[in-house]
Amino acid sequence: MPASGGHYTLSNQHLCAGKYDLQIIDKEINPFVDKWEEEGQFPAHKVFKILGQAGFLGVDKPTEYGGMGLDFSYNIAVAEELGNIRCGGIPMAIGVQTGMATPALTRFGSDELKKQFLVPTIAGDFVACLGISETGAGSDVANIKTTAVRKGDEYVINGGKMWITSGSQADWMCLLANTSEGPPHQNKSLICLPMNLPGIHVAKKIDKLGMRSSDTAQIFFEDVRVPCKNLIGEEGNGFTYQMLQFQEERLWGVASALTPLETIIQETIDYTRQRKVFGRPVLHNQTVHFRLAELAAEVELLRSLLHRAVALYVEGNDVTKFASMAKLKAGRLTREVTDSCLQFWGGMGFTNEVLVSRLYRDLRLMSIGGGSDETMLSIICKYMDILPRK
């Protein structure tokens, strides 16, 4: 695996001579993050075009469609670097673009579909979203109700999706819908759905606790007609395709959290070193510096688990168990680190003026999105053969 001293870095991987300019984050994103957080949305088309031109959006995608043709470990390297963005919402939206809306299309889509949707998505000309979750079906993917009924050479789509990242700006959606009346794990299909079709209604942009610079939408479909050729792979295999994609999504999510956690710990060290209480730096209290050391050790343990899982995945192994373990640990550790560090910032930590408070809100989603902690535990138990059978 491409690593150096236990860390992925873009610079030592030589992804592309001169193309991976890490100053993109410092020049094109971080100076505007506070503004985008206040506005509740970042300009996805503008930012993604910059990232697309630099190669960030197609690292592990085939070269014939504009990607770089590298293995998945390089995508994880990018995820870690994107953690230098000083909010959670923008990296999350990039993750949807690169590792959630496009893997199934890349693996199973027709050449025509890839040219129509994948090529402009990798280039940053299209913003993509993933249409899986519904009001009554978040982690319970099998329970979705949206239907796509075949009529002639078209699917007619009815239903709705909830919590859709980039939903109000997206050009197309990778939609999971029921295409038959069969068993719930065999009746679903993935469809490339252009978002400008009649009958698609973006009902509202959801006001969220965190991830505020990433727009999240509720979307309804009313007799939306899409060509049957927009089907990804085979009809009825959508659930299976989505489950395969979850391995990459969850590993990407873990990777994207590592740098923010390190940043929070370091900024807390810097602040508690200069902040004095009762005549001495807060950092000099043993409970503070011991706790920060403990949290740093936990982050390194999480990184090691991630690297092991990615190495196995690149070799072609099923890493569902390890990906679920890493996702579970990341969700809990992000809460632990942000809560502990915020406490050491005192009253300042309860303001919107410091990064720790933003990430306290943003990273709380790690235990919910992409499969809840409880879902991860069920998957782990299944692989351990200790989950009660129905």
- Contact of 215 with 167, CB cutoff 8 Å: yes
| Active site annotation includes 267 | no
Residue corresponding to tokens 């400008």: 196
Nearest residue to 341 via CA among 265, 259, 282? 265
Kindly give the residue spans of alpha helices, DSSP state H, lying in 40-186.
44-54, 72-82, 89-99, 103-108, 111-113, 119-123
Residue corresponding to tokens 């659930």: 239
Catalytic choice (64, 249, 267, 294): 249
How far apart (Å, rounded) are the C-alpha atoms in residues 127 and 172?
Answer: 7
How far apart (Å, rounded) are the C-alpha atoms in residues 281 and 89?
Answer: 33
The amino acid at 222: E
How far apart (Å, rounded) are the C-alpha atoms in residues 374 and 199?
Answer: 35
Residue 215: DSSP 8-state:
-
Nearest residue to 313 via CA among 16, 59, 305, 334? 305
Q: Residues for the chain: how many in total?
A: 390
How far apart (Å, rounded) are the C-alpha atoms in residues 93 and 44?
Answer: 8
Kindly give, in sequence order, each residue whose CB lies less than 8 Å from that of residue 87, ignoring residues fewer than 6 positions away.
33, 36, 37, 211, 212, 213, 358, 359, 362
How far apart (Å, rounded) are the C-alpha atoms in residues 346 and 351?
Answer: 10
Q: What are phi and psi of 233, to 5 degrees?
A: 70, -135
Q: What are phi and psi of 346, to 5 degrees?
A: 65, -140
- Contact of 187 with 181, CB cutoff 8 Å: yes
How far apart (Å, rounded) are the C-alpha atoms in residues 369 and 252?
Answer: 12
Nearest residue to 194 via CA among 149, 229, 162, 246? 229
Catalytically annotated residues = 249
